Structure 1
Amino acid sequence: MNPIPTAAPGASGNDYLAGRGAAWFAFAMTLALMVMDYVDRQVIVSLFPHMKREWGLSDTQLGSLVSVVSVTVALGALPVALFADRVSRVRSIAAMAVVWSSATLSCMFTRSYGALLGARAAVGLGEAGYGSVGAALIASHFPERMRAALLAGFFAAASVGSVLGVVLGGVIAARWGWQSAFGVVGVPGLVLALLYLLVKDYRTVSLTPSLQQATRSTGAAAGHIWRALSRAVTMRWVCAGAAAQLVVVSSIWAWMPSFLNRVHGIAPDQAALRAALVVLAGAAGAVVWGAVVDRAGRRRRGAKLQTLALLCLCSLAVLGGAFSFGAALAPQSQFLLVVLGGFLMTCTVGPVSAIVIDVIHPGVRSTGSSVLALIQNLFGLALGPVITGALSDAIGLGPALALMPAFGVLAALAFLRAARTYEADCQRAGEPLDAPRPPPLQAARA
């Protein structure tokens, strides 16, 4: 790992940080670790039928095994990002991969629900900050014109990893038992962590005195983040919209194998394979919609957020219809509608990260992105599985899944509000934190 000297990574907006080859190698390695991140995170959802049968767990308990990872990711994201921004992005990422892979391996040795819940929490602690630090590293290596599409691809790797995790979990559990699945998927991350040290890093960016003071501790950073959010109205609304839509995504991804197993009587390993198609459709959708949103914003930046709002409402209509009227549809027709909904519901995955990076100071991109990661994990990914599980215990899994897409309405409203201030916040992103803030009316008209 050789840091590249630079005063402001990606500051010109039009050049590669360390050359085309180094940029694509960094992208490939960061993408590969993102895949393993979500393999380790999602492998458990295809194991739910086995765990429910052997340990007698409720749906709320099963959902908590997914949600606890997102909770610990959220709690650890800011400290990790602070460390990465001020010390080393590459070494931080390698260390994270070692921790989450080792924690995944430990899951195979647990013999009680409490021990497994603790091991899953440790997986989240290892993954904390990875998405935000990885996104900042990619954004710094590539020109601005490519960032939204590349970040869409980076976060789409989460879908690919989820597909692999769901499929591998189902297949391995059917042959060697559900606990063996954790042992198989935990090893590749350790190998990739060592190889990641070959990625080129950039030297830590020199900050203004106010920013230097703001990033010395987690408490100081919290104050800095509050001030940054207060002046970047766009970021607040984008974070809210992103979290609301991820409630939908996490609900569908976590519970599709169980839905197919319980409602349609499909064997757990085959249910995992079919559920993987929904996640795979989401991976394709994240890339496609990332490019569509990029194109929509070429003439007017606010059009990006208006497009996102429309796509969230489309996913609501398709998924809500699929689960609400499933009894009147042939099983194959219902499943095809769910696949289409899966393609639509990941529309926010890449664009929201690019939009947040657009409106924060270049020297604290990892820290700023960690705010998005914290809110997405704590109020999006963590809430979806456990809310669905609790509703399932009360009214059944099918009706619960029919209700969850309604969170898309909240997402659409938030994105429409963010569109009003996006242009002005982009123009002010490079200004010092203590620069005078324009009156709200002036900022909205800028």
Structure 2
Amino acid sequence: MGLHTVGTAVPGTSPAGPVVSRRYAWLVFALSFALLLSDYMSRQVLNAVFPLLKAEWLLSDAQLGSLSGIVALMVGVLTFPLSLLADRWGRVRSLVIAAMVWSLATLGCAVSASYDQMFLGRFMVGVGEAAYGSVGIAVVLSVFPVALRATLSGAFIAGGAFGSVLGVSIGGVVAQHLGWRWAFGIMGIFGIALAAIYRIMVTEKRLGSAVGGRGGTPGEHAGLRTLLPRLFSSVSVVCAYIGSGLQMFVAMALLAWMPSFLNRSYDMPPAKAGLIAGVFALITGIGMIGGGIVSDRLSRKAGARKWTVAIVCSLGSLVLLTAGFQLPAGPPQLVLIAAGTLLSNATAGPAAAMVANLTPTAIAATAMATLTLANSLLGLAPGPAVTGMLADRMGLHGALQVVPLVALAGSVAFTIGKSSYEKDLRRLGLLPDAALMNPEPQT
């Protein structure tokens, strides 16, 4: 009664429910989610201290954007090779090492004496964070039923938004009272403590064969070269990568620059701007969870509806954000921006679920790494940096008026993916989502 039951395995997908204690599965989720909070707290605390760094070191907006973008760039460059290594070497061990690296690097940022030293510290933060999101979500999905994929994916990825809330909000308050160095220091110490707890509570042995890497079945690694091409073997999975990355561009640009936007357009001090920006990040996370839940519920009998949810959210964010940034400063503007923010990354859960459905379980972390790579190279890295470069030329408000147009390209990618989805499932020998969501139990 306390175990997830195993259903029929669909070719190229995870089993319906690995035999893992339900209580332990939720413990794994909770600890993995906590580490993701630390990941994004360490990443986004920088945004809360933008005004302080700009004043102390006389930095341009482009330089500030580069300090944010370098982390996402390293995630994009390294996520694939490090995730592939984790699939072979052991996912849990890789997660612990990654957390220690980004936490120690964040402590290094706390003692930086110049822009160059801070850039190096942020570089190493990116190295540590490179594979965490993809490997972490692969571990989480491996211990839960397939029917919860979009919901769990959305909830897990939302940890990035919630971590951003905590990073920006706590960072802003700490920076105002104790200085920006303490803001980085507290985030680093928190990450080290969580990594130690994760190391004790979650192990490859306790997870058993549910988690890949050293716990995988013998035949999985032998066929790795055969499986890797499946990462790009269909139009629909490529569209999921692209659409997700383009929506991430919009969401991350908003997360990175909202504190500065509130500071400049509403004359808010850094602490208050950080707290209000944290609310917007929280709204982003709520949208991710909501998008996953709605996607799973609507697609129980028609899997293609996941794409419909993504398309609606993408177009909705385009309309609401464009309208919001056209308005003058005031409550109506903030309400529209908040509504657009809610939808800006609600596509994360459906996109991750589609990637998981269309790629083999033996390379689950690598598949999520490919999604993370697209999110980083198309969204996380260029979002803050491009917005900063535009802000140097046309002002931050003008730059934020342009950014939502990227969602139009995202909606096009999701539309193409939907049109090819069922054909790709048949060509790859996969069963429709209805079978995935309601597998027959083994006899």
Is contact 2:13-2:357 (8 Å) kept? no
Deviates further, 166-175 or 230-239: 230-239
Higher mean Cα deviation, 353-362 or 341-350? Answer: 341-350
Distance in 2 separating the partners of 1:254 and 1:264: 17
| 1:41-60 → structure 2 map (5 Å cutoff) | 41-60=43-62
**C-alpha contact (below 8 Å) 2:62/2:388 kept by paired residues:** yes
Does structure 2 retain, via aligned residues, the 8 Å contact 1:358–1:426? no
Aligned residue in 1 for 2:70: 68
Distance 1:87 1:394, change over 3 A: same
Task: Check conservation: 2:231, 2:359, Cα contact below 8 A.
Answer: no
How far off its partner does 1:429 sit? Answer: 5.7
Contact 2:231 2:370 (8 Å CA) reproduced: no
Report 1:397-436 matches (<5 A): 397-426=396-425
> Which residue of structure 1 lines up, in the alignment, with residue 176 of structure 2?
174
Alignment correspondent of 1:205: 217
Q: Report if aligned partners of 1:356, 1:368 keep a CA contact under 8 Å in 2.
A: yes
Partner of 2:321 in structure 1?
A: 319
Deviation, structure 1 residue 211: 2.5
CA contact (8 A) 1:40 1:101 kept: yes
Deviations 1:407-433 (A, max 9, x none): 1100000001111222344456678xx
Mapped to 1, the partners of 2:146 and 2:427 lie a distance apart of 16
Distance 1:185 1:208, change over 3 A: closer
- 1:266-305 Cα deviation digits (max 9, x unpaired): 1111111111111111111111111111122222211211
Would the aligned equivalents of 1:359 and 1:428 in 2 still touch at CA under 8 Å?
Answer: no
Q: Which amino acid aligns with 2:412?
A: L
1:119-142 CA-partner distances (Å, limit 9, x unpaired): 101001001111111111111100
Indicate how the Cα distance of structure 1 residues 396 and 155 shifts in structure 2: closer, same or farther if over 3 A, else same: same
For residues 298 and 239 of structure 2, what CA distance do their matches in structure 1 show? Answer: 19
In 2, Cα distance between the equivalents of 1:128 and 1:193? 16
Correspondence for 1:390: 389
Q: CA shift at 1:235, angstroms?
A: 1.4
Q: Distance in 1 between matches of 2:411 and 2:362?
A: 30
Per-residue CA distance 1:188-236 (angstroms, 9 max, x = gap)? 111111221222333123336762346xxxxxxxxx64x3244222111
- In structure 2, the residue matched to 1:296 is 298
Query: How many positions carry a matched residue from both structures?
Result: 413
Given that 2:221 and 2:362 are in contact with CA atoms closer than 8 Å, whether structure 1 keeps it comes out as no
Distance (Å, rounded) in 1 between the aligned partners of 2:99 and 2:380 = 20
1:149-228 superposed matches below 5 A: 149-197=151-199, 198-199=201-202, 200-201=206-207, 202=209, 203-207=215-219, 211-213=223-225, 225=228, 227-228=229-230
Equivalent residue letter for 2:421: Y
2:379 and 2:360 map into 1 onto residues whose CA distance is 25
Q: Paired residue for 1:435?
A: none
More deviation, 117-126/421-430: 421-430
CA contact (8 A) 2:236 2:421 kept: yes
Partner Cα separation in structure 1 for residue 221 and residue 276 of structure 2: 54
Question: Partner residue of 2:330?
Answer: 331
8 A contact 2:88–2:221 mirrored in 1:
no
The answer to whether the Cα contact below 8 Å between 1:358 and 1:429 also exists between their aligned partners in 2 is no
**1:308 lines up with 2:310 in the alignment:** yes
> What is the aligned counterpart of 2:275 among 263, 268, 273?
273
Shift of 1:349: 1.8
Matched residue SS, 1:13: coil
User: What TM-score, normalized by structure 2, do the two folds share?
Assistant: 0.89
* Corresponding residue to 2:36 among 34, 37, 52: 34
Query: What is the match of residue 125 of structure 2?
Result: 123
Contact kept in structure 2, 1:13 and 1:145, CA below 8 Å: no
Q: State TM-score, norm by structure 1.
A: 0.88
Partners in 2 of 1:206 and 1:191 — Cα distance?
35
SS of 2:219 mapped into structure 1:
coil
- Distance in 1 (alpha carbons) for counterparts of 2:65 and 2:308: 32
Counterpart position of 1:349? 348
Aligned to 2:21: 19
Contact 2:242–2:413 (8 Å) recurs in 1:
yes
CA contact (8 A) 1:153 1:286 kept: yes
Q: Runs of at least 4 residues of structure 1 off by over 6 A? A: 8-12
Question: Secondary structure, in 3 states, of the residue corresponding to 1:420?
Answer: helix
User: SS at 2:284's partner residue?
Assistant: helix
Amino acid at match of 2:369: S
Q: 1:170 to 1:26 in 2, by over 3 A?
A: same
Task: Give the deviation of 1:389 after TM superposition.
Answer: 0.4
Between 1:390-399 and 1:349-358, the stretch displaced more is 349-358
Q: Are residues 1:370 and 2:369 paired?
A: yes
Question: Mapping of 1:433-444 within 5 angstroms?
Answer: none
Distance of 1:142 and 1:358 partners within structure 2: 14
Identify which of 245, 256, 259 aligns with 1:254. 256
| Identity fraction in percent | 38
Residue ranges of structure 2 left out of the alignment (5+ in a row): 1-5, 210-214, 431-443
**8 Å contact kept, 2:259–2:273:** yes
2:441 matched to which residue of 1? none
- Separation of aligned partners in 1, 2:386 and 2:221: 44
CA contact (8 A) 2:18 2:145 kept: yes
Cα distance 1:361–1:323, how it changes in 2: closer, same or farther (>3 A)?
same
Question: What root-mean-square deviation, in Å, do the aligned CA atoms of Structure 1 and Structure 2 show?
Answer: 2.0
